[in-house]
Amino acid sequence: MKKVLKSFGRYLLLDHLAQGGMAEIFRAWAPSVDGGGRLIVLKCVQPDFGQDVEFLQMFRSEIRVSIGLNHPNIVQLYDFGEVDGRPYIAMELVEGKSLKQLVQQLQQQQTYLPVEFSAYAIEQVAAGLHYAHAYRDRTTGELLNIIHRDISPQNLLIAYTGNVKIIDFGIAKAASNRQNTRAGIIKGKPSYLSPEQISGEVLDGRSDIFCLGTVLWETLTGRKLFAGDSDLAAIRLIDACDKHVKPPSTVNPSVSPELDAITLKALSHNRDKRFATAEEMQRALHRAVYAINSSFDPSDFSAYLHNTFKKDMEREHNELQALNIEARALLLKESLDSIPSMEPSESSSFLIEPHEKEEETEDATLKSRRMSRPKTMGAESTGSREIPSPDGGFKSNAIEIQRPSQKKFQTVTATKHTVEKDSSGAPRVLLLGVLAVAAVVYLGPSFGLKIPFAGSHSTAQAPVQTKTQTQTEPQAPPKPVVPPPQQAATHIAMVKLNLSPSGGPVSVTMNGQAVNPAAPIQVPVGLALTVLIQKDGFKPVTKQVTITNEGDFQIDATLEAQQFGFLSLRSTPSAKIQMKMNDLSWTAETPLKEAKFPPGIYQIRLVNDLLGLEKTLSITILRDKIIQQDVDLTVVK
């Protein structure tokens, strides 16, 4: 961990915890006005990636998905915002280790995590996943269908107290997240994907259950389940998991038959054979824990972690204590540096004196004025007002006046003259008199009283200006500038047509006027359009749209053939599809399920950009027939 100690908005960064490809993780302190503060984790976008649109969409997705979640097994999101162009998320700080760090520590010691602790840790993760999967929007009641999609040992934090928390919903999928995964792009770590993620199928909570089964197997055995020489090798193992996955007891004999069965059920290639919900898996793990150890107590897991990481805990505690001391010293220095240097002057509206001069002999001028006046009268001096004490004395106390200066407060030391208390009650009488006068001044006009000196509250006419007053003639107010009339600006959108299939002659009209479908069309914003699309061999398509925004506006239309066959195409892993038949072309992504295409011979190109895989094939589609094709991109012929 690298010490940072610098301000970031209203937070103070303490040290650097981790750095990913596009974001940095800091431990930070959120100071409070009472001198306390909360230790948190700040996830900040690196400066160079603040303009990366795709990454920012993922970052905002994490906020949208996580902002409402509140569960003991999910890291809490506290705050989010942007500082100097860098978006950030403020999250709960978990004092502990990731599951990956725990497994690695035990590997070095050549031992296993006790099986009841393994089952208990994964049970907590299953509880958190079920909460996310079943989460509903608090205002609409809509089921959000949140799927994490990246359950791995790195994203599971184990606090030293034994509590396990899920982190990083950055690529989570939810109903509220309308961002679609690009075809051929697999989101998640290759060794911890589900078969559905590889094939590009629509995901549900059972995808996370498969990934959690992978983590359970690794936690029980201390080994990675789908380990290959490359990401491609890992993907091949996952796709054939029913053939390769063995019970964890074959590696760790202490694993119970109950845990073997739970692990293998979660790792079924067919998701219909897995646990239906994460809650079902959580309950099965809970029963297994107490079947292994009937006297199990969660505090046992905490004690085990304290013993395993005793030295790390002491070191982290000392580092944090030292950082805390330095942080407070830094904040104090910044506060002192913000105090302006001010010299006393006759024009000051208050006296400025250092604290150590409070008891010095009073100014001779003030003293002479005080001695020459009755004890019960106030004394006025140029630029200040003083209230005498009953015995005629004055006392000056130093006070602090806080002035807001942009984001910080500047502290100015000043003096205030206070009244010394005695049993006569004179100060109290004087205060009551002042309050009475103020009440008459402010409330009198509302009761019809005319108070000539009451300023804006008075109903009397303003006093006539005397010769001793300034005789400057008031200047006439400037005439208002009336802008010349301008014509209302016309807001224009550039409408583009996205037709599938593309190519070949096509006829397009908008509100009865023929347009060129290959070029953008200028259309006023707010205009309602009736778009008619006609192509030989396809059914006419009519679309009703209203142009809602300036700039580019896209109208998508899929044409249905008048005669067609069906194509079901699945690939491992998922891929983009480029199909051509004569002068027509289609783009799609796998898997396709009985998609309609005109009869003919198609040249098909499948591409997975992430893994650098590509394959071409020729398929003949027959009228009213279903063609099914499975393609393994990882197999090179």
**96 in Cβ contact with 160 (< 8 Å):** yes
Model confidence at 460: pLDDT above 70: no
- Judge whether 469 lies within some domain: no
pLDDT digits (tens, 9 = 90+) for 190-224: 899 999 999 888 899 999 999 999 999 999 999 99
CATH number of domain containing 71: 3.30.200.20
Domain contains 442: no
Residues 299 and 162 in one domain: yes
Contact 226, 207 (CB under 8 A): no
Lowest-pLDDT choice from 153-162, 302-311, 315-324, 394-403: 394-403
- Tell me which of 93, 124, 151 is where a domain ends: 93
Residue 136 lies in a domain: yes
Residues 136, 71 share a domain: no
pLDDT at position 34: 53
Q: Find, among 280, 277, 272, 213, the residue nearest to 247 by Cα.
A: 213
- Does 298 or 479 have the greater pLDDT score? 298
Domain boundary among the residues 283, 308, 333 is at 308
Same domain for 112 and 232, yes or no, is: yes
C-alpha–C-alpha distance, residues 582 and 561, integer Å: 15
Q: Is residue 427 very low, low, confident or very high in pLDDT (cuts 50, 70, 90)? A: low
The pLDDT score that the predictor gives to residue 484 is 42
Write out the catalytic residue numbers: 150
Q: What is the pLDDT of residues 299-345, one digit of tens each?
A: 999 999 999 999 999 999 999 888 888 888 887 776 666 665 554 44
Most confident stretch, 57-66, 343-352, 531-540: 531-540
Q: Are residues 182 and 120 in the same domain?
A: yes
- The whole-number average pLDDT for the span 494-516 is 91
Domain presence at residue 622 = yes
pLDDT of 99 reads 97
Average pLDDT of every residue of the chain: 78
Which pair of tokens denotes residue 107? 């590997």
Residue 189 pLDDT class (50, 70, 90 cuts): confident
Q: Annotate 550-572 with DSSP letters as a single string.
A: SEEEEEEEE--BSS-EEEEEEEE
Model confidence at 68, pLDDT cuts 50, 70, 90, reads confident
The pLDDT value given to residue 347: 39
**pLDDT (0 to 100) of residue 258:** 96
**Residue 216 to residue 220: CA distance in whole angstroms:** 6
Q: What is the CA radius of gyration of the chain?
A: 38
* Highest mean pLDDT: which range of 76-85, 228-237, 242-251: 242-251
Task: Please check whether residue 458 lies inside any domain of the structure.
Answer: no
Contacts of 165 (CB under 8 A, 6+ apart): 72, 73, 74, 75, 92, 94, 128, 156, 157, 159
CATH label of the domain that carries residue 162: 1.10.510.10
Q: Are residues 544 and 587 in the same domain?
A: no
pLDDT at residue 262, as a whole number: 98
Q: What is the mean pLDDT of residues 395-409?
A: 42
Q: Which residue has the tokens 């845990």?
A: 259
> Of 28-32, 222-226, 253-257, 381-385, where does mean pLDDT reach its minimum?
381-385
7 in a domain, yes or no?
yes
Q: Exposed, middle or buried by CB within 10 Å (0-12, 13-18, 19+), for 208?
A: buried
pLDDT the model gives residue 445: 53
| DSSP label at residue 599 | S
85 and 123 part of one domain: no
Residue 543 has pLDDT above 60, yes or no: yes
Domain that holds residue 211: 96-308
**Is residue 344 helix, strand or coil?**
coil
Burial code of 511-538, b = ≥16 C-beta within 10 A, e = fewer? Answer: eeeebebeeebebeeeeebebebebeeb
Domain boundary among 505, 538, 558: 558
CB-based burial of residue 44 (10 Å sphere; 0-12 exposed, 13-18 middle, 19+ buried)? buried
pTM of whole model > 0.75?
no
**Residue 366 falls within a domain, yes or no?**
no
At residue 348, the pLDDT reads: 36
| CATH number where 530 lies | 2.60.40
Whether 51 and 183 map to the same domain: the answer is no
What's the rounded mean pLDDT across residues 464-487? 43
pLDDT at 326: 86
Shared domain check, 124 and 139: yes
What is the reported pLDDT for 257?
A: 96
- Both 134 and 61 in one domain: the answer is no
The string of DSSP letters for 105-123 reads HHHHTT----HHHHHHHHH
Residue 452 has pLDDT above 90, yes or no: no
In which region does residue 184 sit, left (phi positive, over 0), alpha (psi from -120 to 50) or beta (all else)? left
The predicted model gives 79-87 an average pLDDT of 87
Q: How many domains does the chain have?
A: 4
pLDDT for the residue numbered 228 = 81
Q: Cα separation of 627 and 593, whole Å?
A: 10
Lowest mean pLDDT among 40-49, 269-278, 564-573, 580-589: 40-49
CA distance 538 to 61: 39
Distance CA 259, CA 119 (A): 8
User: At residue 265, does pLDDT exceed 90?
Assistant: yes
Interatomic CA distance for residues 595 and 587, integer angstroms: 12
Of 380 and 633, the structure prediction assigns the larger pLDDT to 633
d(CA 372, CA 354): 28
User: Does residue 546 share a domain with residue 622?
Assistant: no
- Asked if pLDDT for residue 65 goes beyond 60, the answer is yes
Compute the average pLDDT of residues 556-575.
90
Residue 144: pLDDT above 90?
no
Residue 587 has pLDDT above 70, yes or no: yes
Shared domain check, 190 and 175? yes
Q: pLDDT at residue 113 above 90?
A: yes
Helix (H) or strand (E) holding 232: helix 231-239
Euclidean distance between CA atoms 510 and 517, whole angstroms: 10
Q: Is the pLDDT at 375 greater than 60, yes or no?
A: no
* 260 vs 443, higher pLDDT: 260
Structure tokens at 129: 């996943």
Q: Are residues 83 and 156 in the same domain?
A: no
pLDDT of 172: 56
Mean pLDDT of 341-358: 42
Instruction: Look at residue 206 and tell me if it is in a domain.
Output: yes
Give yes or no for a contact between 164 and 124, defined as CB atoms under 8 angstroms apart: yes
| Single-letter amino acid, residue 431 | L
Percent of the chain with pLDDT over 70: 70
The arithmetic mean of pLDDT across residues 433-455, rounded, is: 51
